[in-house]
Structure 1
Amino acid sequence: MFKFTMTDELTMAKADEDAQRVYAKKLAADRESQKRERAEELPEQRESRLAAKRESEKRRRAEESKEQQGNGLEADRERKNRKRAEESKEQQGNRLEADRERKNRKRAEELPEQRGSRLAAKRESEKRRRVEELQEQQEIRLAADRESKKRKRAEESQEQQEIRLAADRESNKRKRAEESEQPESYRLAFRYNPVDDYSLSRCVQIGTMSKICPYCKALKFNGETMGMCCASGKVKLPLLAAPPEPLKTFLTGTTSESKRFLSKIRKYNSCFQMTSFGAQIENPDQFLSTFKVKGQIYHRAGSLLPFSGENHKFLQLYFISDRNSELNARCEISSNVERTIVSQLQHLFHENNNLVRLFKTAINLMPTDTHKIVISADKTPPGQHVRRYNAPTIDEVAIVMVGNQFLPRDIILHKRNAQLLRIAETHRCYDALQYPIIFWDGADGYHFNIKLMNPATNKEMNKKCSAMHYYSYRLMIRKDEENYILKCRELFHQFVVDMYAKIESERLLYIRLNQTKLRSEQYIHLRDAVINDGNTTNVGRLTILPSSYAGSPRHMHKYAQDAIAYVRLYGRPDLFITFTCNQSWDKILQLLLQGQSAVHRHDITAVSSGKS
């Protein structure tokens, strides 16, 4: 029986340390010897050594099980990640440069068949990866690709840019040449096969509205663009407040009273609108429930009070002292409206609409008829942030005398006056004055001071939000949120047409004010006209619409040239096919709100027929 003492343990520990030191020295010596041998070896010796190593590695990997292979790959990744985390920026740059050099040498030496098989394998791998990725991953990848392409193009020299553009032109030429070599059956416009079930085609099956925007949670179809709802996170607006009772119940369409209200919702809105709606309205026929207008849309407002002996109109109705007389006047505006519904809405707007309360307070502060009420187009309440989009408060209303200077877009209302004021489309109260049922609290609408947001930092950018982006955000369907605008049926149709006219007006204004940026002086047709006429004094100030403006002459000319190009490449078309949306499609009925039919939601039927 042996008995170990403390001295024996110390002796054994010292022996282990000596053995480890000897082993470490041996490893260091082996590494140094290996370095010297590799430095002295000839290129042929190096190639044979690396080839033998590759063969040995292949045999080892062929013999290992799947579990061992997975463990080995995981260990390699861990080792590589640790090594890369510890390297300095200079080492990282050297490594990346060496990788690029090695890759370039390998690609320069490969045969055309090897290059083709490598690219084909890469494409297949990319296809599989993209099929498996989630919608959010796809959007992140596309955004990263765009940023990478922007940086790369910003850093390239003029020579590199010319080389890239020349390569793109050559690639397009090859692609078009390959298309022209397709067989005649491929070039036919349409070849119908009665055996095929075309309802199962990918072109028809657009799927459900399951695509969710990662920024604003808007629901979209798979084929819809990423930024159509919120410009990829750059537009952030607060929700419109839910309407109080009884308006909330009226918009549901579940009760008999609410159904009668929704069937005449435009008439009820006209009973309470504060501005007149000016446009040439086309009466829809009995088969098409569509709101159509011709020409320009404009809203006008009169004075707060009528002259003696005249009837109250629009905004003036809110200043009738007797509520019963006010109710009688409102019921006389539109026929077939129910007095009980009008009475309930009248009470709601007097109690909850900030614009009505603002005007009532302001009129009491006007000492004479020569004073005016001025509502600034872009003013922000004192101490408040512009992105809160508050409804106007009495602090924002100025009571001024005649002769004061105003901005062109300000709303200037007289106490008594025979003139009508046109409300600017970009005034923040434009929507609430015309659509009190939608904006029951008088909330602000679109105006120029709404800024885009940086989605990464959640801070305001210098760029302003356009009317198109604003109303695209407002009209989207979002998960777990109620959009009360979509419940307004015929009034929703009028609102969409009105706001689209506003968007087009803003586009035209931008084109008119930015002719130099659009380089309109370079347009060949205008230059030829000036040269041929010879008299430039008769030209006047022209506004040239670019081809990007839908419906402009240059836009139509561009489409005509595209059509000619298609005919030249594919031959004359065999059939001209139009496609009509079926309102009974399941994908339409699934998106309708309670009590709605397809005629109430042109936003869905337009998308469905466009996608199909």
Structure 2
Amino acid sequence: MPLTLPPPLHEPEIPLAATNQPLPTEPLLLPPAHYCPKCNAKKFAYESPAFCCGNGEVEIATNDYPPELVRLFTSQDEDALHFRKYARLYNNMFAFSSLGGAVDAKTEKGIYVFKLHGQIYHYIPDLLPSNETLKYLQLYFYDGQHEISNRLGCFPELREDVINILMDVTKTNPYARFFRCLKEMNIDENTQIILNKNTVPDQRVYNSPTSDEVAVIWPEATSSSESSNPHILVSGKSNKSHMIMHYYGCYDPLQYPLLFPRGDCGWNQGLKKMSTGGRRQIRVQQDPVQSCAVHTAEDLLSKEAIRATTGRTNTDKHISARQYYAYKLQRRPNNLLLRAGRCLQQYIVDMYVKVENTRLDFFRNNQDTIRADLYQGILDTVERGENSAANVGHRVVLPPTFIGGPRDLKKRYLNAMALVQRYGKPDLFVTMTCNLNWQEIKQELAVGEEAQNMPDLVSRIFRAKLLALKKLIMQKHVFGEVAVMIYVVEFQKRGLPHAHFLIILTPASKIKTPADYDKFVSAEIPSVESPRLRKIVLKHMMHGPCGKLNPNCPCMKRTGNKEHCKSGYPKQFCDETTTNADGFPVYKRSSTGETVPIRRANLDNRWVIPYNPYLSSLFDCHLNVEVCSSIQAVKYLYKYVYKGHDRISFNVVRDGERGAVDEIE
């Protein structure tokens, strides 16, 4: 379908709020948070009623946490502080399954962040260890008389007194009770147990599962442990891995026993919606017939998309993974899940991948619904660089409706370039980065909590501030009348969210000469007459130091035998704003002789990142504003904001073997 563009805008010139208004004396504060009347979840500014509970349609019952675990997660006791620092290690030590994936443990600079590359897998080990090293569920029963000493040997950072407390806590866990009972048995290579995939009782009378419900001993041989089987078979010794699939209800409690100490079942495909009193209400209830069903279109597509692709309406019967975890991760009173610190970061990453897997499951099993035949033509194949006739025809397609996929990013890029064709090059490039010291973040933290361990809070407050900036640009015209604006949100490798804006102004508000640049952008340290702005710029808008002052700075890049800053710092002094030979702006940077101590170095105006004084004073964060003076930068900028994740695509095949192209794989 061709892109329909609005007619060009020709409004009269209006005052520029960013240059005519005095600098704010206080930072912008968001409206006070309020509570959802349906589910009592805290809602921040600009959040929709459906964000937490589907406007009253989602309700999930939970069990209370053991008092000792509550103390470890919330108190300021010495052992509790130690526990929260190493919460992820303690959880992994008591976990029944292993987490597979390429974990990046390097946190040399910036805040702590849990990073994992590629796919995530959960595995259950054999009942008997392959060597003398015990791991995961084996620690519960193998050499059970020495469980404490065995666990102490897992990680040198852990303490015996905390392990004793957690062993008492796990006495209420049905999985722990079951595996500990195996110490009374003689486990050999022929011993087999069966774990139930889904142990969800009726949520209207939500009870914790019992050890009899989660697993049984299976003395007879069985054929396989394929995903079509309603159970997970674990052998004493085997040559294959026992994988916990993302749609199993036991996926969460087996990997996160400290977050689900009662063995609460997580999301699975059998969670159904129920209708009460004429108004739909979602309550979690197991349907054994549907427990292994493939996702329906209603789970993963909006009603509009369903109408367009299938002609059906109002047929949403199951709760999706995204709806489930959106409910679970809300800030409600006594929601201890959000107090789990670094363990919470791993859990959120894991569950995000689970949500993405459910979306990919839908696309894989509904290729006809998404009209995959439209993407399998010869022209599409040639455009993607395919040079083998064997791959022309059938392929598994990842459509543009998969957010973040290559077709989605290409579609957005082409739409953005169409706007440039219509309205001209962008005038301003704005980058906004979250500030962990924003008042709205700090006031939500309990005593002893750190913002870096609250990724949900950081992301939601940043989104609210981002929308406030968007309103200032579009409605308050801080840069003048805006014809077109695009923006995209990314997450830094060191954990903080940031957004890139590309703004095209109307003809009357265009920045036409280098002399106009100074109305919007400054690249100098503010004078002492503006102490608040000066403090903000010195804190957020000073680059580096890098180069000879700090050769290990992340911005350093090697070209041949030389190392240089990829951003070109330190810049050159300049008495007035000009443009260089390539058409890029060279901002005014006066040689005043003033230096300020920044990160163990004395820096001057050459190290200032360009900023807008009005917006920096208002938002108190890293807010970079650049003028796009050259048409040469247009294509690069739009590709940059829509580049997507750092990724690589590859496929492993045998020599001479040709298989169907699978874009999801």
* TM-score tier (shorter): 0.5 to 0.7
Deviations 1:312-371 (A, max 9, x none): 211100004544x2111111111221111112212321x211111123446767886424
State the partner residue of 2:249: 428
State the partner residue of 2:80: 258
**Which one of the candidate residues 319, 327, 334 is aligned to 1:465?**
319
Work out whether 1:347 is the aligned partner of 2:200. Answer: no
State the partner residue of 1:66: none
534 and 553 in structure 1: CA distance in 2 versus 1, 3 angstrom threshold: closer
Deviations 1:519-571 (A, max 9, x none): 12124866543899898643364222222212212111121123223334443
> Residue type matched to 1:306 in 2?
P
Q: What is the rounded CA distance, in whole Å, between the counterparts of 2:157 and 2:224 in structure 1?
A: 45
> Residue type matched to 2:317 in 1?
K
The alignment yields a C-alpha RMSD, in angstroms, of 3.2
199 and 560 in structure 1: CA distance in 2 versus 1, 3 angstrom threshold: farther
1:289 offset after TM fit, Å? Answer: 1.2
Q: What is the rounded CA distance, in whole Å, between the counterparts of 1:298 and 1:184 in structure 2?
A: 58
**Which one of the candidate residues 178, 192, 211 is aligned to 1:358?**
178
**2:273–2:280 contact (8 Å) kept in structure 1:** no
Work out whether 1:333 is the aligned partner of 2:185. Answer: no
1:390 offset after TM fit, Å? Answer: 4.4
State the partner residue of 1:65: none
Q: What is the rounded CA distance, in whole Å, between the counterparts of 1:592 and 1:471 in structure 2?
A: 21
Work out whether 1:577 is the aligned partner of 2:400. Answer: no
Work out whether 1:297 is the aligned partner of 2:116. Answer: no
**Which one of the candidate residues 164, 181, 206 is aligned to 2:10?**
181
**TM-score normalised per structure 2:** 0.58
Give 1 or 2: higher helix fraction: 1
Work out whether 1:514 is the aligned partner of 2:366. Answer: yes
Deviations 1:140-189 (A, max 9, x none): xxxxxxxxxxxxxxxxxxxxxxxxxxxxx9xx87xx33x61224669xxx
Q: What is the rounded CA distance, in whole Å, between the counterparts of 2:261 and 2:405 in structure 1?
A: 38
Map 1:157-556 onto structure 2 (within 5 A).
176-177=6-7, 180-183=9-12, 192-193=18-19, 195-197=21-23, 205-210=29-34, 212-239=35-62, 241-282=63-104, 283-306=106-129, 310-323=132-145, 325-349=146-170, 351-361=171-181, 369-378=189-198, 388=206, 390-391=208-209, 393-395=211-213, 397-400=215-218, 401-404=220-223, 406-408=225-227, 410-417=231-238, 419-454=240-275, 456=279, 458=281, 463-478=317-332, 481-523=333-375, 528-529=380-381, 537-539=390-392, 541-556=394-409
430 and 580 in structure 1: CA distance in 2 versus 1, 3 angstrom threshold: same
Question: What SS is found at the alignment partner of 2:137?
Answer: helix
501 and 198 in structure 1: CA distance in 2 versus 1, 3 angstrom threshold: farther
> Residue type matched to 2:32 in 1?
T
476 and 515 in structure 1: CA distance in 2 versus 1, 3 angstrom threshold: same
**1:206–1:611 contact (8 Å) kept in structure 2:** yes
1:408 offset after TM fit, Å? Answer: 0.8
**2:126–2:236 contact (8 Å) kept in structure 1:** yes
> Residue type matched to 2:401 in 1?
S
> Residue type matched to 1:468 in 2?
R
Q: What is the rounded CA distance, in whole Å, between the counterparts of 1:180 and 1:462 in structure 2?
A: 42
Q: What is the rounded CA distance, in whole Å, between the counterparts of 2:36 and 2:19 in structure 1?
A: 38
**1:515–1:544 contact (8 Å) kept in structure 2:** yes
> Residue type matched to 2:349 in 1?
V
**2:99–2:120 contact (8 Å) kept in structure 1:** yes
Q: What is the rounded CA distance, in whole Å, between the counterparts of 2:215 and 2:148 in structure 1?
A: 28
Work out whether 1:586 is the aligned partner of 2:434. Answer: no
380 and 266 in structure 1: CA distance in 2 versus 1, 3 angstrom threshold: closer
The percent identity for this pair of structures is 28
Q: What is the rounded CA distance, in whole Å, between the counterparts of 2:316 and 2:191 in structure 1?
A: 37
1:264 offset after TM fit, Å? Answer: 1.2
1:594 offset after TM fit, Å? Answer: 2.8
Q: What is the rounded CA distance, in whole Å, between the counterparts of 1:290 and 1:332 in structure 2?
A: 25
State the partner residue of 2:417: 564
Q: Which of 574-583 and 391-400 deviates more?
A: 391-400
1:242 offset after TM fit, Å? Answer: 2.8
Give 1 or 2: higher strand fraction: 2
**1:371–1:402 contact (8 Å) kept in structure 2:** no
Give the number of equivalent residue pairs.
Answer: 425
Question: What SS is found at the alignment partner of 2:274?
Answer: strand
Question: What SS is found at the alignment partner of 1:336?
Answer: coil
**1:281–1:292 contact (8 Å) kept in structure 2:** yes
Map 1:115-154 onto structure 2 (within 5 A).
none
Question: What SS is found at the alignment partner of 1:413?
Answer: strand
Unpaired runs of 5+ residues, structure 2, are 284-314, 466-665
248 and 224 in structure 1: CA distance in 2 versus 1, 3 angstrom threshold: same
> Residue type matched to 2:85 in 1?
S
Deviations 1:197-245 (A, max 9, x none): 46889xx5432221x3333222212311221212233322103x23223
> Residue type matched to 1:357 in 2?
R
Q: What is the rounded CA distance, in whole Å, between the counterparts of 1:402 and 1:585 in structure 2?
A: 60
**1:380–1:386 contact (8 Å) kept in structure 2:** no
State the partner residue of 2:453: 600
1:611 offset after TM fit, Å? Answer: 2.3
Q: Which of 592-601 and 563-572 deviates more?
A: 563-572
Question: What SS is found at the alignment partner of 1:180?
Answer: coil
380 and 596 in structure 1: CA distance in 2 versus 1, 3 angstrom threshold: closer
Q: What is the rounded CA distance, in whole Å, between the counterparts of 2:153 and 2:9 in structure 1?
A: 69
**TM-score normalised per structure 1:** 0.63
**1:446–1:470 contact (8 Å) kept in structure 2:** yes
> Residue type matched to 2:40 in 1?
K
Unpaired runs of 5+ residues, structure 1, are 1-168
1:411 offset after TM fit, Å? Answer: 1.9
1:459 offset after TM fit, Å? Answer: 7.4
Q: What is the rounded CA distance, in whole Å, between the counterparts of 1:261 and 1:333 in structure 2?
A: 15
Question: What SS is found at the alignment partner of 2:317?
Answer: strand
595 and 412 in structure 1: CA distance in 2 versus 1, 3 angstrom threshold: same
**1:373–1:412 contact (8 Å) kept in structure 2:** yes
State the partner residue of 2:519: none
243 and 315 in structure 1: CA distance in 2 versus 1, 3 angstrom threshold: same
566 and 438 in structure 1: CA distance in 2 versus 1, 3 angstrom threshold: same
339 and 495 in structure 1: CA distance in 2 versus 1, 3 angstrom threshold: same
**1:353–1:441 contact (8 Å) kept in structure 2:** yes
**1:235–1:453 contact (8 Å) kept in structure 2:** no
Higher relative contact order (CA 8 A, sep 6+): 2
Which structure has the bigger radius of gyration?
Answer: 1
**1:387–1:450 contact (8 Å) kept in structure 2:** no
Q: Which of 508-517 and 572-581 deviates more?
A: 572-581
**1:278–1:298 contact (8 Å) kept in structure 2:** yes
Q: What is the rounded CA distance, in whole Å, between the counterparts of 1:407 and 1:516 in structure 2?
A: 26
Question: What SS is found at the alignment partner of 2:234?
Answer: strand
